[in-house]
Amino acid sequence: MNTKVLLLIGIVLVLFAATNPSIETHKAEVKQMLTQKMNLEEIATETAESEDTFEQVGNAIGTTLGLAFVDKMIDNAISTDSYVLFSLTKATWEGKEKVIGYGLLGNVFIFDEVKNADLGQ
């Protein structure tokens, strides 16, 4: 093989390794997805716009509890497997572990199957 080709391959491999997302990045992506699915961002916006004090208080408490639940669940259920060049997002639920996404070049991608899952709402 040509030296330039080997150098290019080496640079690409170093790029992939250097940009492999951290576990915090994986958890942040899952948190954002769950927050959107639970409509917590919309509730917070509606709370700020509401003129009813009781509604504001109720929504604020609900949003706070929802975010706390999401944070705790993610800390306990989400892990990663790093393969240097890429990583896998894994969720553990009721003793079963499943790959729900992957990380590559600084980004985390959650599978559509997970994004479109019904949360029992």
Q: CA-CA distance, 77 to 74, in Å (whole number)?
A: 5
Q: What whole-number percentage of the chain has pLDDT above 70? A: 75
What is the separation, in whole angstroms, between the first and last Cα of the chain?
57
Residue 89 within a domain: yes
pTM, full prediction:
0.73
Residue 121 within a domain: no
User: Which residue range forms the structural domain that includes residue 60?
Assistant: 3-115
Residue 23 within a domain: yes
pLDDT given at position 55: 63
Residue 61 within a domain: yes
pLDDT level of residue 69 (50, 70, 90 thresholds): confident
Residue 120 within a domain: no
Q: CA-CA distance, 119 to 37, in Å (whole number)?
A: 8
Domain count, the chain: 1
pLDDT level of residue 101 (50, 70, 90 thresholds): very high
Give mean pLDDT, residues 27-38.
Answer: 85
Residue 104 within a domain: yes
Any bridge partners for residue 103, and if so which?
Answer: 87, 108
